[in-house]
């Protein structure tokens, strides 16, 4: 039997400010399997973004552990964690985090350069990925000139540039209309199934529930409930 790509074991995150603690997430047990899109659903403050940041290694748990491909990432050195993120984890941020003075292709190529690709090859590969997400014709446009939906596609292209085994997307449909939102989720679902990657999407948007393989409902930093499509029987599906 295969192992999950990502696994949270009694994971908790406590934020401290002014001598007081605020719970981000508490006692979360969650596993992410290859070839699936998992939706983290809940209102603002439910812990969705904190879970994404923990799985990305951008935050360290204050209790429990977070493992990627069996490796507890909170025990890695900074340099090893950076290498893991560059090669095995892709993140599409809610605010896109694009560099407006660079073209769409140059933004995507940055991920490839960080992973060690040569400049010419990284641009060629970036243009290919932008074609895959439907905006190859915009590869030489500055991202400041793109629509919200186009920027989201660039952000996803950058996140999948190095073929990550774990793809994390924080509120990818928040600033999009219904049609564009569904198209973005279909892109992420296609990547999960085509690349046999684990894709995790944090959202408060109930419109996209029926597109996910699995929906995890969060409330007050805890997993409240979970449901899967009938065809999905984990871990055997993995």
Domains recognised in the chain with CATH numbers: 6-97+166-228 (3.40.50.300)
Inter-residue contact 217 to 51 (CB < 8 Å): no
Residue 123 to residue 110: CA distance in whole angstroms: 9
Low-confidence ranges of the chain (pLDDT < 50): 233, 235-238
Neighbours of 45 (CB within 10 A): 14
What pLDDT score was predicted for residue 236?
A: 40
Q: What is the pTM of this model?
A: 0.91
Q: How far is CA 127 from CA 64, 83, 204, in A?
A: 41, 23, 32
What pLDDT score was predicted for residue 207?
A: 79
Residue 168 to residue 52: CA distance in whole angstroms: 6
Cross-strand pairs, 89? 166
Residue 217 to residue 28: CA distance in whole angstroms: 12
What pLDDT score was predicted for residue 237?
A: 42
């Amino acid at each position: 039997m295969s192992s999950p790509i990502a696994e949270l074991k009694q994971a908790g995150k406590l934020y401290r400010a002014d001598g007081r603690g605020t719970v981000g997430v508490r006692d979360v047990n969650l596993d992410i399997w290859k070839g699936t899109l998992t939706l983290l659903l809940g209102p603002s403050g439910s812990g969705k973004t904190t879970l994404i940041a923990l799985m990305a290694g951008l935050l360290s748990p204050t209790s429990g552990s977070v493992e990627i491909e069996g490796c507890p990432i909170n025990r890695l050195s900074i340099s090893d964690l950076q290498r893991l993120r560059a090669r095995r984890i892709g993140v599409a941020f809610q605010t896109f985090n694009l560099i407006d003075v660079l073209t769409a292709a140059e933004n995507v190529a940055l991920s490839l350069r960080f992973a060690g690709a040569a400049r010419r090859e990284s641009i060629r590969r970036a243009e290919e990925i932008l074609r895959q997400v439907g905006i190859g014709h915009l590869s030489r446009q500055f991202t400041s000139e793109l629509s919200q939906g186009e920027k989201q596609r660039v952000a996803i292209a950058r996140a999948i540039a190095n073929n990550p085994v774990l793809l994390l997307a924080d509120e990818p449909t928040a600033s999009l209309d219904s049609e564009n939102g569904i198209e973005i989720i279909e892109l992420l679902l296609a990547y999960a199934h085509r690349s046999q990657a684990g894709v995790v999407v944090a959202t408060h948007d109930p419109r996209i529930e029926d597109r996910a393989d699995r929906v995890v409902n969060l409330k007050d930093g805890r997993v409240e409930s979970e449901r899967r499509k009938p065809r999905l029987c984990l871990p055997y599906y993995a």
